[in-house]
């Protein structure tokens, strides 16, 4: 895959977007001469001199995948892009290596050894907007307080980020390919009877990464831990020879993320749970097939609850019709999270709850409080579709008493509870004709 020509198109598009945005803001009374975008400053743990693992400011990554803190990109309409690349003289840590990549030719690069040297390149920053995580530094350099992360600028840039360029989709595709290698290694490790810790080790080795390189803390859950939605631990030998693996793990490529979940059942495990897993696989694929331009993502989420209701009814876990199960909200303890979210530079990419570029809130419906994406689907969107089905004792407990307790097949539910649950997640690129499944193409 040739990234350079796609990247050049991406830069042209970004320049146009920033030019248009600055003109719009001027018409609204906010006149800007340019935008200074900071890759971000490092943070420290409380009362410690140890750095928190650094993650760059997403708006910086949107322009280029340069790793490390305290680089600055300066955008001015009609002028070349200037990149201030921070290369400290340091014997404690390795300094960045100078290597030619697909992005370097797009910038006038100024290398500095001290952050303070950067401000000397600007005579006046009073009409420059600052995007970054260090407002104090921006003010010290002379950026007006009202131009530090100005809302009218940020909402427009955030809203537009939901639609991905061909370059961005290519990077997410590469991130899926990389993560797929890890998922295949994890499955082999599970089949060999390894622990959560060793499955995770094999995943990281397969994608050639350490955990701080991954987009999020990977979830490697055996048996009952699959019912902990963001299970954060990795058990050792005590968790070997399990019957179920739920692995939610991604990778990065040039700053862009993949986010993939698979659930595997060992041969010979409970046959009813296997039927449940197969039904959830079919439901997930049916949801992907529903994706089309103009459809509200809320409808995809509602269709997930309808699908879970049918499974509950078909398997007799709730002794009602699927219509009644859905109407009475009995799907919620089995499927308590949202069916997906925007994906890109961030795993949970921004603007999922924005109705427009002005930042008008579009909160999730009250019955679906954890849904992270409420917008209408547009061509160019990239998001996840990840239905789940879990046996979470805390959520099921209230239904064990009261008038509705006899509607649940508690004997079967208790039999399946030690296997935890199921989640299946693909990364979806919306095209004019429907959905391109970036995950199924490689896994």
Predicted confidence pLDDT, tens digits, the chain (443 residues): 689 999 999 999 999 999 999 999 999 999 999 999 999 999 999 999 999 999 999 999 999 999 999 999 999 999 999 999 999 988 888 877 766 689 999 999 999 999 999 999 998 999 999 999 999 999 999 999 999 999 999 999 999 999 999 999 999 999 999 999 999 999 999 999 999 999 999 999 999 999 999 999 999 999 999 999 999 999 998 767 799 999 999 999 999 999 999 999 999 999 999 999 999 999 999 999 999 999 999 999 999 999 999 999 999 999 999 999 999 999 999 999 999 999 999 999 999 999 999 999 999 999 999 999 999 999 999 999 999 999 999 999 999 999 999 999 999 999 999 999 999 999 999 999 999 999 999 99
Query: Residue 86: enclosing H or E segment and its boundaries?
Result: strand 82-86
Residues 171 and 156 in one domain: no
Q: Which residues make Cβ contacts (< 8 Å) with residue 401, sequence separation at least 6?
A: none
Residues 358 and 290 in one domain: yes
Q: Look up the domain containing 340 and give its range.
A: 166-437
The answer, as to whether pTM is greater than 0.95, is yes
Considering only CA atoms, which of 115, 88, 72, 262 is closest in space to residue 186? 262
Torsion angle, alpha carbons of 132, 137, 141, 143, to 10? 50
Considering only CA atoms, which of 428, 298, 430, 429 is closest in space to residue 376? 298
Residue 26 CB neighbours (<10 A) = 11
Cβ proximity of 34 and 74 under 8 Å? yes
Residues 197 and 283 in one domain: yes
CA–CA gap between residue 413 and residue 322 (Å, rounded): 17
Residues 78 and 200 in one domain: no
189 in a domain, yes or no? yes
Strand ranges (E), 378-420: 382-385, 388-390
Structure confidence by residue, pLDDT tens digits, 204-224: 999 999 999 999 999 999 999
Residues 95 and 176 in one domain: no
Cβ proximity of 318 and 327 under 8 Å? no
Last residue of a domain, one of 160, 180, 204: 160
Residues 98 and 210 in one domain: no
């Amino acid at each position: 895959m040739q990234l350079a020509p796609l990247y050049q198109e991406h830069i042209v598009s970004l320049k146009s977007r920033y030019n248009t945005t600055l003109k719009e803001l001027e018409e609204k009374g906010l006149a800007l001469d340019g935008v200074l975008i900071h890759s971000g400053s490092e943070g420290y743990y409380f009362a410690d001199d140890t750095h928190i693992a650094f993650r760059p400011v997403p708006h910086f990554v949107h322009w280029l995948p340069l790793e490390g803190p305290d680089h600055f990109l300066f955008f001015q309409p009609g002028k070349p892009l200037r990149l201030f690349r921070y290369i400290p003289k340091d014997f404690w840590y390795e300094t960045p290596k100078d290597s030619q990549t697909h992005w370097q030719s797009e910038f006038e690069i100024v290398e500095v050894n001290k952050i303070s040297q950067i401000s000397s390149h600007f005579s006046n920053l009073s009409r420059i907007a600052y995007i970054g995580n260090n407002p104090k530094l921006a003010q010290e350099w002379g950026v007006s307080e009202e131009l530090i992360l100005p809302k009218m600028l940020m909402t427009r840039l955030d809203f537009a980020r939901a639609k991905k360029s061909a370059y961005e989709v290519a990077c997410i595709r590469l991130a899926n390919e990389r993560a797929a290698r890890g998922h295949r290694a994890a499955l082999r490790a599970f089949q060999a009877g390894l622990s959560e810790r060793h499955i995770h080790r094999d995943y990281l080795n397969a994608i050639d990464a350490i955990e701080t390189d991954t987009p999020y803390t990977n979830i490697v859950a055996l048996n009952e831990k699959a019912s902990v939605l963001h299970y954060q631990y990795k058990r050792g030998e005590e968790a070997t020879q399990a019957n179920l693996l739920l692995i939610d793990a991604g990778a990065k490529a040039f700053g862009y993320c993949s986010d993939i979940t698979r659930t595997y059942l060992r041969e010979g495990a409970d046959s009813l749970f296997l039927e449940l897993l197969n039904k959830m696989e079919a439901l997930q694929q049916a949801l992907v097939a529903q994706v089309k331009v103009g459809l509200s993502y809320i409808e995809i989420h509602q269709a997930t609850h309808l699908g879970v209701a049918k499974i509950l009814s078909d398997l007799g876990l709730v002794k009602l019709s699927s219509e009644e199960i859905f109407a009475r909200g009995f799907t919620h303890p089995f499927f308590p999270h949202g069916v997906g979210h925007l994906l890109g530079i961030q795993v949970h990419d921004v603007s999922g709850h924005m109705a427009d570029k002005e930042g008008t809130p579009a909160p999730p419906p009250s019955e679906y409080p954890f849904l992270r994406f409420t917008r209408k689907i547009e061509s160019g969107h990239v998001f996840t579709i990840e239905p789940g089905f879990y046996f979470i004792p805390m959520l099921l407990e209230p239904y064990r008493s009261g008038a509705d307790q006899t509607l649940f097949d508690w004997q079967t539910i208790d039999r399946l509870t030690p296997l935890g649950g199921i989640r299946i997640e693909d990364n979806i690129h919306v095209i004019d004709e429907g959905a391109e499944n970036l995950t199924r193409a490689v896994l």
